[in-house]
A and B are shown apart, each in its own frame.
Chain A
Amino acid sequence: MHDSHEFKIPFGPQHPALKEPEGFSIALKGEKIMGVEVRLGYNHRGIEKACESKTYIQAMYLVERVCGICSHSHSTCFIQAVEEIAGLVVPKRALYLRTLVGELERIHSHLLWLGVAGHEIGFDTLLMYSWRDREVVMDILAKITGNRVNYGMNTIGGVRRDIFPLDAQAVLKDVDILEERTKYYIELALKETTIIKRLSGVGVVSHEDAIKLGAVGPTARASGIARDTRKDDPYAAYGELKFDVITSDKNDVYGRTIVRVLELMESYKIIRQVIQNLPEGPITVKAPRKIPAGEAISRYEAPRGEDVHYVKSNGTEKPERVKMRAPTLANVQAVKHMLKDRYLADMPIVIAAIDPCFSCTDRLIWVEDVNSKKYDVMNWGTLHAYSVDWHRQHGINFSKLNQELAKKMERA
């Protein structure tokens, strides 16, 4: 799409009249970012307030849609708080099924991320390849929950659907397939020099800084912080399952890649344990419509990191207060830190690497050239093209890998 001519960011002569209410503002010096401001809120819908006028079940369906990629995470995190307030003992089988859907969600999310990351660095075939694998997961989820996304699996006191033994066996077979394919991604990540070169030293956050910045999820784990809610504060069935917390000492986007692909392998391990040890029994326990007055705080390790929900009840059938802290919000400070004094061309992958829960491709980027004091507004597409082009000029070219992977896809 772009020739090898030099891609310059056009700067307008004047301060454009309109500044978008959300997006990124960058102070640019030459090719380097001096500072970044992030303006969020474009998808602030007012969900917390709306929950106060809905029943707990209605609120749960709303909460599920905070983010369409980790919907089960939000739904489960919320319902756990409600169940704690009500003093409900959720049946083990339900906890295992919640865990199953949660890990399937993690897998689909990490594969999604792999594709997006591939696209951002110019390795577009990886998007096609990994999302093709992701469809295996989408099929499993649709089979056992009834939907590809927004599974509606939870209810207060358990889950709404049980799993048929035949479907459970089918899941095991699919996990075997996915594990084989994931080995290819691990090989790519560990051996392909183009990928290693492109992702290493990019988006660096030291271990100490990651702690100070309050990073969560794979972003934190890639800076050596062994923080994983599934281990630190076990919920659902995780207290009874064997798995490792994956960390890396690379502190960069490459580390975040390694963490995610290895976490996929852990998810396969967990799913096998869940299905092979699925307890017999009911999938739900009776729950009152009016939840007694109380409060609870619930944590959940979503694919992006720790999700935190606080619920306060007042004895009625509607919550008094629902507070949700999604993982991406916790990583925002870290992103500003990662971009400072770095190349503009690294911005797309750095932002993609925290796996943001806001749709990045629509955010506008407001760029001020520190030297000329001129401004421009870039859309993500322009930034992406600039980034791929810039790296191509610096010797990183994915055309060979794209061709190889395309051939591999045809053969498969």
Chain B
Amino acid sequence: MGVISRVVTWARIKSPWVLHFNTGACNACDIEIVAALTPRYDIERFGAQLKGTPRHADVLLCSGPVTRQIEDRLVRIYRQMPEPKFVIAVGTCACSGGVFQDCYNVKSGIDAVIPVSAYVPGCPASPKALINAIVKLLKSLEESEAKKNAKAV
């Protein structure tokens, strides 16, 4: 069990599979997420790959405030992701609801519905900030893995 979990984590650190989900965003953050894939930012050099299905995703990139329509589906997608899983709230709206906080169809930020591992503010969050967040997440994973190994010894 321990060996498998270490292999899985190693694989995840080397190459996180990322799912992008828009929960009612204006598309600005979504475009910046896709821009992170393009040559100038090239998130793939960190091994991160965009995947189409929650069942294969390690990291969920969520953009947008949570609208009434999308809430159930967000929860379902989160549940479909295998453990361990991480959620990155991309953009101010995902962090807190942003400018849409007072809007009747908006619940608030992502963390009102599912647990969030990292918050990337910005309106929109720039590709650089996003890459920073993913790298930090990977580093913290590495460090917690190292701590676990240290304990085991």
Direct contact of A and B (CB under 8 A): yes
Give the B-binding residues of A (Cβ under 8 A): 20-22, 41-47, 49-50, 53-54, 61-62, 65-69, 71, 112, 127-128, 131-132, 134-135, 138, 147-150, 357-359, 361-362, 379-382, 409
Interface window among B62-70, B133-141, B144-152: B62-70
Instruction: Report yes or no: B26 in contact with A68, Cβ–Cβ below 8 A.
Output: yes
A-B pairs, top 5 by smallest CB distance, nearest first, are: A68-B28, A381-B52, A46-B103, A46-B104, A68-B26
B residues near A131, Cβ cutoff 8 Å: 34-35, 38-39
Which of B26, B40, B53, B102 sits near A65, CB closer than 8 Å?
A: B26
User: Could you give 26 example pairs across A and B, Cβ below 8 Å?
Assistant: A21-B69, A41-B69, A43-B67, A45-B67, A46-B104, A46-B106, A47-B100, A47-B103, A49-B103, A50-B104, A53-B102, A61-B99, A65-B28, A65-B123, A67-B27, A69-B31, A128-B38, A132-B38, A132-B40, A148-B126, A149-B123, A150-B123, A361-B22, A362-B21, A379-B53, A409-B39
Instruction: Report yes or no: B27 in contact with A68, Cβ–Cβ below 8 A.
Output: yes
Instruction: Report yes or no: A45 in contact with B21, Cβ–Cβ below 8 A.
Output: no
Which of B27, B64, B98 sits near A69, CB closer than 8 Å?
A: B27
Question: Quick one: given A21-B69, A68-B28, are A379 and B21 in contact (CB under 8 Å)?
Answer: no
Instruction: Report yes or no: A42 in contact with B31, Cβ–Cβ below 8 A.
Output: no
A residues near B26, Cβ cutoff 8 Å: 43, 65-68, 71
Give the nearest-CB partner of A150 in chain B.
B123
Instruction: Report yes or no: A362 in contact with B22, Cβ–Cβ below 8 A.
Output: yes
Which of B32, B65, B124, B126 sits near A45, CB closer than 8 Å?
A: B65
A residues near B123, Cβ cutoff 8 Å: 65, 147, 149-150
Convert B31-60 into 0s and 1s, putting 1 for each residue whose CB lies closer than 8 angstroms to a CB of A. Answer: 110110011100000000000110000000
- Give the distance to chain A from B121, nearest Cβ to Cβ, in Å: 13
B residues near A359, Cβ cutoff 8 Å: 22, 25, 27, 30
Give the A-binding residues of B (Cβ under 8 A): 20-22, 24-32, 34-35, 38-40, 52-53, 64-65, 67, 69-70, 73, 98-100, 102-106, 123-124, 126
The CA-CA distance from A20 to B70 in the complex, in Å, is 9
- Give the distance to chain B from A319, nearest Cβ to Cβ, in Å: 14
Not counting A43-B26, A361-B20, a sample of 20 additional A-B residue pairs whose C-beta atoms are within 8 angstroms of each other reads A41-B69, A43-B22, A43-B24, A44-B67, A46-B103, A46-B105, A46-B106, A50-B103, A50-B104, A61-B99, A62-B99, A65-B28, A65-B98, A65-B123, A67-B26, A68-B27, A68-B30, A69-B27, A131-B39, A148-B32
A residues near B64, Cβ cutoff 8 Å: 43
Give the nearest-CB partner of B22 in chain A.
A359
- Give the distance to chain B from A229, nearest Cβ to Cβ, in Å: 22
Question: Quick one: given A131-B38, A132-B40, are A45 and B24 in contact (CB under 8 Å)?
Answer: yes
- Give the distance to chain B from A3, nearest Cβ to Cβ, in Å: 17
B residues near A381, Cβ cutoff 8 Å: 52-53
Instruction: Report yes or no: A150 in contact with B124, Cβ–Cβ below 8 A.
Output: yes
Which of B27, B39, B69 sits near A128, CB closer than 8 Å?
A: B39
Instruction: Report yes or no: A20 in contact with B102, Cβ–Cβ below 8 A.
Output: no
B residues near A62, Cβ cutoff 8 Å: 99-100
Question: Quick one: given A45-B100, A47-B103, A66-B26, are A149 and B124 in contact (CB under 8 Å)?
Answer: yes
